[in-house]
Each structure stands twice: as structure tokens, then as C-alpha cells.
Amino acid sequence: MLDRGTTLSRTWAWPGFFTRSVLFFLCLKFIYILLGLLWQGNNDWLSVFHRNDSSWYALIAENGYPTVPPQPGTESEFAFFPLYPALVSIFMPLLGTFHQAAFAFSLLTGLLLITLCFRLLRQLEWSDREIFRFLALYQLLPFHHFHHVFYSEQLFLLILAGIMLSLEQRSTALLFALSALLALTRPTGLIYAATLPLLYLPNFNVPAFIDWVRRCWPLMGAPFGIFLWTGYLKLHCGDALAFSHAQSGWNRKYCWPWESLFNDGNTAIILISIYAVLILITALTMFRRSGFGVILFHGINLLFPLSTGQVISYPRYTSANLPLFLRLRSFLEAPYFPWILALAATLHLFIYYAWVMNLPIWSY
């Protein structure tokens, strides 16, 4: 049973922490809409979730991918992976428009994510109170409004949580399938699938190593998913690596991670570079005494997004790093937790305001 209410009388029970998590999620969604209407000054209540890259997802959901490969230096739909727009398009015949379908899909994935987090974290021996507090804090962290807008972050996080639960439960077939889907959601899906085994790295003895391989080999579903995607692209437009070639349209190129930081006088670049440095310092503090595998996992997944030459998307990449944010558990029962939540909510609200009003931080 997911919900465990507390009976206060013979006729009424205080909702359990699962129900509270659902209500918190729905209330936050309502607040986003309400503030969007107030700040934008128009009646299009869904437009607040439709910014920047969501327009590309809308093009893919409505028209599919082009039949010609991307041209060097030109922005193209091929830079965006197919799973999110494909799933949203399933809802479009019923709901009519991309906006309505994407909103319905965000509600569905949000509720599924709450359900899955309760199952996963209970498996990891978290209390329901800790899970509720974690989900509330996670959603209120700065930049995490990305998990409510028409982007693929929430879907990515949902699949990643499913993969982590499958690793705990050793569900081989499900783990293989989810790994393939993760790789079809965002380019970093392949990186996560390749590095998640590091979190389970055993002591170096033969029986433990064999058990580790048996647990983690289904993550090979990720390269299988990329293989299917490249095969489709070859048949569709003649360029199996169109998703990689399209990155030049956003001036992405591989470089040393530190080369992406403060490489422009743009306000957004400066602020998000500061954010990236703070994340790296925090991670170094939290994981300095962890095992080699854990340190390597977080090192790769925190530095690799910076190696693309663009820091602007760094908050989006890190917002879906569930293993990183699970370390917040140490703060969930602290007496100062309400102050942490209040500070996070204040910063979150400011950044959401910048998103809604298209302030210079979002000039990209």
C-alpha cells in the first residue's frame, strides 16, 4: 500500500505522505499557472510552460523529423531526442494541441514519478516522512521548474528512477528496456547507463564481480537504443549521426570542462557558471569520503555536461541527476530543514519569474 494515513478520529484520517506528495505536486503546478497568468498579463495559461526548446519538441510532435540531414551551423530538430515528443504526440489526437497534450503528459509523468520514488526510496529504507520532504525540497530547488515545463527532464528522471529501482530489484528485462528508453530521451542517457554500475562497484573478488556483472549487464539496453535511433535516422534522412551533427547549430563542441565556464560576458553565462561551480564544490564536499565508484560516477556526470562547450544547459542536466540529490537525505530531519526549504523556494521563485518574464538571464 503506497499511502499510510494517520487516523485522528473514527471518521477522518490525516492523509499519508504519499497523498501529501501528490497534493504538493498539484498545488505547485497550480501556482506556476497562477503566477504565469499574473506576470504575463494574458489568458493563455499553458504558455508559461512553453519556452525555448519546447518549441522544437512541438515541431517534432506535430511534423516529425525532417527528411534531409542537418546542415552545419544550422539549428535543427535532430538535436532533440525522440522519446518525449513521440509520447506527447500520442495524446494529441485526443486533446488536440501540443500544449494540451504536453500538459496532460506532465501531470501523468509527475504522478508516476512520485509513485516510483516512494517505491524506490522505501526499497532503500527511507521513511515516508523523509520521502515526502525530499520530493518537496527537490521540486523547490533552483532551476527545477524545468521538471514542470514542456521539456524532457521529468520523463528522463522518471525513467532513471525506474532504472535504479530495477537495479535494486534485479529486474533484468525491465532494466534493459528502461535503459534503451533512457538513451532515447536525452543524449546523457547513454552516459548515465554506462556509469550507473559504478554506484554498485564491489570489492575486488571473483564472486562479487560476477554478481555485479549479473546485476548491471542489462544496462546494455542503452547502446541498443542508440543503435535503433541511428538506424532510423539512416533510413529517414540518410545521416545516422544526424543528432550529433545538429549540435553545431548551438555552437556545441567538445572541450575541457573548465573551458565552458565564464566564456562569455552574457549575464546568463556568468550566473550559470557560478551555479555550476557551486554544484561542483558541494558535490566535492558531500562525496569526498565515498567509495571510488561513487566519486567516479558523480565526477563523470557533473563534468561531462560542461565538456560540450556550453554551460547554459547545465542546470537542466544536473536537475535530473537523482543519485546526486539523494544525498539531501542528511538534511531532511534537521531542525533547520524549514529554513532550507524556505531559502530554496525563494530562489526557485526568482528564477521562475526570470523564466516567465524572459529576463536577460534567459536571453539565449
- What single string gives the DSSP state of each residue in 177-225? HHHHHHHTT-THHHHHHHHGGGGG---SSHHHHHHHHHHHGGGGHHHHH
Average pLDDT value for residue range 297-315:
86
146 pLDDT more than 80: yes
Is 28 domain-assigned? yes
| Confidence at residue 246, expressed as pLDDT on a 0 to 100 scale | 83
| Confidence at residue 268, expressed as pLDDT on a 0 to 100 scale | 77
Selection from 134, 196, 181 nearest residue 326 by Cα: 134
pLDDT-derived band of residue 166, with 50, 70 and 90 as boundaries?
very high
Distances (CA, A) of 282 to 184, 268, 286: 30, 21, 6
Is 3 domain-assigned? no
Is 4 domain-assigned? no
Is 174 domain-assigned? yes
Total domains present in the chain: 1
| Confidence at residue 6, expressed as pLDDT on a 0 to 100 scale | 47
Is 234 domain-assigned? yes
Average pLDDT value for residue range 273-298:
89
Alpha-carbon distance 106 to 30, whole Å? 13
- Give the tens place of pLDDT for each residue, 29-86: 999 999 988 887 777 788 888 888 888 999 999 999 999 988 887 888 888 999 999 9
| Confidence at residue 1, expressed as pLDDT on a 0 to 100 scale | 53
Helices assigned H by DSSP within 124-198? 128-140, 153-169, 172-183, 188-195
Cα 287 versus chain centre, distance: 21
Structural domain span for residue 132: 14-362
| Confidence at residue 26, expressed as pLDDT on a 0 to 100 scale | 95
Cell of 7: 487516523
Selection from 239, 235, 236, 238 nearest residue 248 by Cα: 239
Selection from 58, 57, 70 nearest residue 236 by Cα: 70
| Confidence at residue 11, expressed as pLDDT on a 0 to 100 scale | 46
| Confidence at residue 73, expressed as pLDDT on a 0 to 100 scale | 76
| Confidence at residue 3, expressed as pLDDT on a 0 to 100 scale | 60
Is 7 domain-assigned? no
Tell me how many degrees the CA angle 155-143-23 measures, rounded to the nearest 5.
65
pLDDT-derived band of residue 357, with 50, 70 and 90 as boundaries?
confident
8 pLDDT more than 50: no
Is 161 domain-assigned? yes
pLDDT-derived band of residue 288, with 50, 70 and 90 as boundaries?
confident
Alpha-carbon distance 354 to 344, whole Å? 15
Is 222 domain-assigned? yes
